[in-house]
Structures are given as C-alpha cells and as structure tokens.
Structure 1
Amino acid sequence: MVGAAAAGSNGAAFVLTHRTLLDPVMLSVALQRPVPAVTYSLSRVSELISPVRTVRLTRDRARDAETMRRLLAEGDLAVCPEGTTCREPYLLRFSPLFAELADAVEPAAVDARGGWVYGTTASGHKWLDPVVFLMNPAPAYRIAFLGRLPTEMTRASGWTAAEVANRVQRQLADALGFECTGLTRRDKYMILAGNEGVLGHRGSK
C-alpha cells in the first residue's frame, strides 16, 4: 500500500482501477474497515461470496444516481468506473457518474500481479476469478492512494463530470504506467466474448 486516504473521508467515493473482483475487498483491507461497493452485472454467486457489501447498479442513470447518492450519505463507497475488469495495462473509459454525486473523490490506483494465471476472464465464470488469482504462487496487490481530488478540480469549481472523470482516469493511469483508452465496458465484451457482458450471457460478472 502506498499513501493513505485523507483524514475525515467519510462520504468519499474511492475511485478504483478495476483489475479483479477482489479490488473492493483489498480496498477494505487497506483501510482496515469495510467499504461497500457498487457493481454492475455481478452474479449472485459473486454477491454471496463477497466479504464486503455489494449494491447493484441497473444502467438506469436516474436510479443508479439515487442509489449512489444514498450510499454516499451513509458513508464511503468504492466505485470502479470502468464498469468491468481489464487485465492489460490500459484503463477503459470512466463513467462520470461518481463525479456528479461525490463531493469527496479519492482516487486509488489498484494493480494485481499473479505471475502464472490472470485473475479475470471475459468468457468464463467471473465468480471463479478470485479463486484463480489466488492460485498463483505469489499473488500480490498494490494500492496507491493518490490523495483527495482538490476542490478546484471538481464540479464545485465548474468542471463538468466528464472532465473530472477524464482527469481521474489520467491520474490513475499515470500512477500505474498504464494507457488511457476511450473503450467502454461493452466494447471490451464485444471484442473478447462477442456479447455485451450482461447477466444472461455467459461471461457476466
């Protein structure tokens, strides 16, 4: 772990890069307290085995905004704005919803290293991803807290939500040595698995 979350960060959106389904769990381990996570198209099995609270998003923007607003009012929240895992040194396009709703944004650069096998799949059973990742001889996670986004770089200072999201994506990519892309979650699944990556298709999380 590198750095630390800002003091008095209750009600913050922890914006994570998404490497495996363990990312929100590792965030909670690093913070030494449980932080709920919002998810999209997570299977029931993944929900049942998750040691942290998960809350489903629906792709209905108004409903999802209300859900996240309620969770942020209760405390901190883990958000993976890429919407899906990515094993390569790239970041998918960030959804700007977190930037619309959170007054406190805490970028956290997450990277997972296995060695033998990847801990993420686009066409298999996603609930097995954490098991596969932990089968590596020396699985390792690295989380770098980059510090709370300054107020002058948020919507409070006139930035659009998309500008904030792009700024955070670039900040996280620079911290990891990754490349930003404009590819979406749907693009990834269409390229790798020939579907949109939603429940009902094999390959959903």
Structure 2
Amino acid sequence: MPNPSFFNLSEDKRNLVLSVSLKEFSTANYDKASINQICKNSNIAKGSFYQYFTDKLDLYVYVMTLAVEAKITFFSESLGEFKSLPLLEQINMLFLKGVEFARNYPQYAALGEQFSKENNETAKQAVMKEGDKQSESLFAQMIEHAKAKEEIDNNIDTVALSLMLQALNKTVNDYMLNKFGDISYQHFDEDADKLVHSLLGIIFNGIKNK
C-alpha cells in the first residue's frame, strides 16, 4: 500500500499517478511495465516515486486492489437488484453483471484481461491474496443472506462454500482464457453460460445419482 506521503499529494496529482499507472499495467505485463514511464507521464521524479511507494510491486498491488474494490462495490450494489432471487440465480447473475462492469469500467476490464495473462508468480500471488479477501466477503454476504432465508442448510460452512464459489469463478476465467485467449465477458456466449450452469449445478445439487 502507498506510503503516507502519497496521500499528502493533491487529489489531482494522486489521480494522475493512478491513471498513468493503470494505463501502463493494463497494456504491459508486470515485468515489462516501466516505472520510468509512469514517472515521466505523471511528471514526478523517480526519487519521489520511492517516497510514495516501496517499489513497483507495491504500486501494482495497489492499482489492482482499487480495480477489485470497484468491481466488488459494483457487484454489491447490483445484489440489491436481485436480492430476492435464490442464491443459485444470484451467482449466475454476477457473471452476467460482469458484462455491464466491463462496459462501464473499460480500463479496469483491460487491467483484468492483462492480469489473466500475467506470468510473474510473485506479482500474481500478491494481487490474488488481496483480491480473494474481498471476493470471500462478497460471497459470504450472499451465503449468510441465503441462510437467513432458510434457503440453504444453516450448517453449511460459509467460508468453505465461499472458497468453492471463488474457485468456480477462476475455473470459468481459465476456460475463457484457454478457449478465446482472454477473459473478456463479450465472449460469455452460450457455451460459457452452459459451463457456469453445470458448475453451479454440481455445487448446489452434488454428483450423487438421485
């Protein structure tokens, strides 16, 4: 996370640094992204950069965290639209809402696309550690609401189910990446939609022969 000195900058200056950083990280992988270029386009000295952030990884995780927070906030607000729906349908709607998020926040969507192809494991793990915390919170909120409605067994472990739903999301992303070369929700076609329904069916109905 940024050092306190970063937040002492004017809002316009902070926004410029973040905007330039977002563009750099969404158009190049972590190793190729250039701190020199970010400093140049932000009109800050390289020495000043290291007063604001510990290193490139610190900045990268912060930018990615802001993107995740924006997506989680968007989804959380969207939940109000279909809170009365069963949990299964709510989760399916989250995937469809991904289309709307990508349209409303194209730069964050581009950042997500770039991250899906990231091959620097240190950078990936640092980002996923922060992102998983927030995803778990969103799913936990949905699960607890379903329990309150007596829609699902109250003895179901909320954390365990939340982790399964996060794994489902990763599985769908990997599927789209392997099939289409990216995770763009514009590719969320009938085939991908069928996969989501199948995975959700396994989670909610099990595999035992009825």
Q: Which has the higher strand share?
A: 1
TM-score by length of 2: 0.24
Q: Which has the higher helix share?
A: 2
Name which structure has the greater RCO, CA cutoff 8 Å, separation 6+.
1
